Amino acid sequence: MEALEDGEEDEREALKRHLRAERQKRKKRLLEQSSLQKSRDADDVKDVTSIQQYSADEGPSEKADDSVVLSKSRTGSQKVLCAPGLTSITQHTHHLDDFVKRRLEEKLKAARSKGESLQDKEASLEFPSRLHSLKDRDTVTRFDREADADRAGRRDSPSPLSTRVRFREAARQVGKGLPTAEEAFNFFTLNFDPDPPDVIETSSRRRQKQRKTTDEDEEHEDVDEDIQEENETQSEEAPLVQTQEDLFVIDQSPQDFLEIKKAEYVGYQKLLQRQSELLFTPSFRTVPTSIKLPENMKPRYLEDEGLYVGERPPVSLTNENILENRILKMEEGKKWFGDDGRIIALPNPIKESSTRPPLFHMEEALDPALQTVYRKAVKSKYANLYIAGGADPEGDYQLDVDVSGLIFSHHPLFSREHVLGARLAQLYDQYLTRQRNNLTGHLTDKLNGLRNALRNMLESHSGLNPTQALQQRISEYNLEVRNTRHLRDSEQEKDRTLLKNIVKVWKAIKALREFQKFTNTPYKLYLRRENVDRVSDEQDYEDEILAEVVELEAETEEEYQNKLAEYKKRLEEWKLCRKKQKAKKKKQKKKKKGQAQDDTEGEDEEQDVSESEGPTDEPPPKPEPPERPDLGSIEQWVREKTLRIRRKPGEAILIPELSASANITASELCPRAETARREDVARRSLFTKILYNDKEVSRTDSRSLNTDFRVHFGQIFNLKIVNCPQSISLQVFEEIGSSCSLLAQVFLPVPEPSVVTGSVPLEEFEFSSNQRVMFDHEGVGSDVPLSFEADGSNKQSLLTSGKVSCCVSWGIGDDDVPLAPPISQQPGGVHSGMGCLDAVSYIGASGLYDMKKIGEWARQSRLDPNDPKNASIMQLLKVASSGEVTAPEYFRLEHLQEEFNFVTDEELEKSGRFRLLKLRNQEVAEFRNYKFIPALEREVTDTVFQEYEKRLKEGEVIDTKEHLDSHRALVAKYLQKIRESVINRFLLAKHHYLLSDLVIEEEIPTIGILGINLFKLAEPKRPLKPQRKERKKVTAQNLSDGDIKLLVNIIRAYDIPVRRLQSNKPGQSSHSALQGSIGLLDQIQVRPFVEVSFQRTVLQTATADGPNPCWNEELQLPFSAPNGDYSTASLQSVKDEVFINIFDEVVHETVMNDKNRGKSIQTHIEKRWLGSVKIPFSTIYSQSKIDGTFKVNTPAVLLGYSKEKSHFTNSGFDILRSLSEGTFITLFITVDPQLVPGESVREKFDTQEDERLLQASERFERDAAQRYPERPCITTVIDLSGKTVFITRYIRPLSPPKELLDEFPNNPLEATPLVARFVSLIPSLPDQVSFSATCDLWSTCDQFLTLLAGDEEEHAVLLCNYFLSMGKKAWLIIGTAIPEGPTAYVLTLEQNLYLIWNPSSGQFYGQYDTFCPLQAVGCLVNPDNVWFNIQQYTSPMRVSFDISKAHLWKPFFSRTFSHPGLSSIQPEELVYRRTDRAAAAELQDRIERILKEKIMEWRPRQPTRWNRYCTTTLKQFLPKLELIRGQDVAEGHRHELQSLLGDYRISGFPLNLAFSEIRPIIEAVYSTGIHSVQASNVEFALAVYVHPYPNNVMSVWIYLASLVLT
Amino acid sequence: MAASNPSVFLLTVNGNIEGANFPEYDNLYCKYCFVYGHDWAPTTGLEEGITQIASKSSQASHRLIWNFPLATTFKSTNPSGWPQLVVSVYGPDVFGNDVVRGYGATHIPFTPGQHTKTIPMFVPEPTWRLQKFTGWLTGRRPEYTDPKVVAQGEGREVTRVHSQGFVSVSFLIMTKDMKKMDYDTGPSGPANKPSATSGWSTEEQP
Give A1461's pLDDT tier (boundaries 50, 70, 90).
Answer: confident
CB contact under 8 A, A1000 and B135: no
Q: Would the pLDDT of A1326 be above 90?
A: no
| Closest Cβ opposite residue B41 in set A930, A932, A993 | A932
- pLDDT score for B190: 44
Chain B nearest C-alpha distance from A1243 (Å): 19
Q: What is the tens place of the pLDDT at every residue in B77-136?
A: 888 889 999 999 999 888 888 889 999 999 999 888 899 999 999 999 888 888 788 777
- pLDDT score for A892: 59
Residues of chain A neighbouring B127 (CB-CB closer than 8 A): 995, 1001
Please state whether beta strands B9-21 and A1578-1589 pair in parallel, antiparallel, or not at all (unpaired).
unpaired
- pLDDT score for A987: 66
* Whole-angstrom distance, CA of residue A18 vs CA of residue A144: 10
Across A992-1020, average pLDDT: 70
B4 within a domain of the structure (yes/no): no
Give A70's pLDDT tier (boundaries 50, 70, 90).
Answer: very low
Preferred mutation among A931, A1002, A1007 to probe B, highest tally of B CBs within 10 A: A1002
B200 within a domain of the structure (yes/no): no
* Whole-angstrom distance, CA of residue B37 vs CA of residue A283: 74
Give B33's pLDDT tier (boundaries 50, 70, 90).
Answer: very high
Q: Would the pLDDT of B177 be above 50?
A: yes
* Whole-angstrom distance, CA of residue A64 vs CA of residue B84: 65
CB contact under 8 A, A991 and B39: no
Q: Would the pLDDT of A1464 be above 70?
A: yes
Preferred mutation among B10, B38, B181 to probe A, highest tally of A CBs within 10 A: B38
Within 8 A by CB and 6+ apart from A49, the residues are: A94, A97, A235
List Cα–Cα distances, A1459 to A613, A889, A1455, in angstroms.
Answer: 69, 56, 9
Within 8 A by CB and 6+ apart from A853, the residues are: A847
* Whole-angstrom distance, CA of residue A1219 vs CA of residue A1398: 12
CB contact under 8 A, A1002 and B140: yes
Q: What is the CA radius of gyration of chain A?
A: 61
Cβ contact A840:A872 at 8 Å: yes
- pLDDT score for A68: 42
Q: What is the residue type of A1302?
A: D
Give A612's pLDDT tier (boundaries 50, 70, 90).
Answer: very low
List Cα–Cα distances, A1516 to A608, A732, A806, A810, A1329, in angstroms.
Answer: 89, 119, 120, 114, 37
Residue B83 is part of a domain; what is its CATH number?
A: 2.60.40.150
- Helices A138-154 & A181-189 angle (0-180, nearest 10): 100
Choose the most confident range, by mean pLDDT, from A391-405, A844-858, A1521-1535, A1551-1565: A1551-1565
Across A1393-1405, average pLDDT: 84
Residues of chain B neighbouring A1000 (CB-CB closer than 8 A): 142-145
B188 within a domain of the structure (yes/no): no
- Pairwise pLDDT comparison (B192 vs A380), residue with the higher score: A380
Q: What share of chain A is helix, strand, coil (3-state, %, to 5)?
A: 45, 20, 35
How long, in residues, is chain B?
206
- pLDDT score for B66: 92
| Closest Cβ opposite residue A999 in set B9, B77, B145 | B145
- pLDDT score for A942: 76
Give A484's pLDDT tier (boundaries 50, 70, 90).
Answer: confident
B107 within a domain of the structure (yes/no): yes
- pLDDT score for B17: 93
Preferred mutation among A916, A927, A932 to probe B, highest tally of B CBs within 10 A: A932
- pLDDT score for A742: 82
Task: For chain A, say whether B2 makes contact (Cβ under 8 Å).
Answer: no
Across A1323-1328, average pLDDT: 66
B186 within a domain of the structure (yes/no): no
Q: Would the pLDDT of B29 be above 90?
A: yes
- pLDDT score for B168: 93
B114 within a domain of the structure (yes/no): yes
Helix (H) or strand (E) run with residue A189 in it:
helix A181-189
Q: What is the tens place of the pLDDT at every residue in A942-967?
A: 777 777 777 776 655 544 444 555 66
Task: For chain A, say whether B15 makes contact (Cβ under 8 Å).
Answer: no
Residues of chain A neighbouring B144 (CB-CB closer than 8 A): 998-1000
- pLDDT score for A1495: 87
Q: Would the pLDDT of A1272 be above 90?
A: no
B2 within a domain of the structure (yes/no): no
Choose the most confident range, by mean pLDDT, from A341-350, A1018-1027, A1048-1057, A1522-1531: A1048-1057
Give A1321's pLDDT tier (boundaries 50, 70, 90).
Answer: confident
For B:68-107, CB contacts with A below 8 A are 76-78, 80
Chain A nearest C-alpha distance from B150 (Å): 10
* Whole-angstrom distance, CA of residue A418 vs CA of residue A428: 15
Arithmetic mean of pLDDT over chain A: 71
Q: Which domain holds residue B120?
A: 9-181
| Closest Cβ opposite residue A999 in set B7, B38, B124 | B124
Of all residues in chain B, what percent carry a pLDDT higher than 90? 35
- Helices A67-76 & A161-176 angle (0-180, nearest 10): 80
Give A78's pLDDT tier (boundaries 50, 70, 90).
Answer: very low
- Pairwise pLDDT comparison (A736 vs A1030), residue with the higher score: A736
Cβ contact A1599:A1198 at 8 Å: no
Give A11's pLDDT tier (boundaries 50, 70, 90).
Answer: low
B71 within a domain of the structure (yes/no): yes
Task: Give B95-158 as a DSSP string.
Answer: TS-EEEEEEEEEEPP-SSEEEEEEEEEEEEPPSSHHHHHHHHHHT---EESSGGGGG--TTGGG
Chain A nearest C-alpha distance from B60 (Å): 25
- pLDDT score for A572: 86
- pLDDT score for A191: 58
Give the number of domains in chain B: 1
Quote the DSSP letter at residue A669: G
Q: What is the tens place of the pLDDT at every residue in A915-924?
A: 888 888 777 7
Nearest CA in chain B to A993: B155
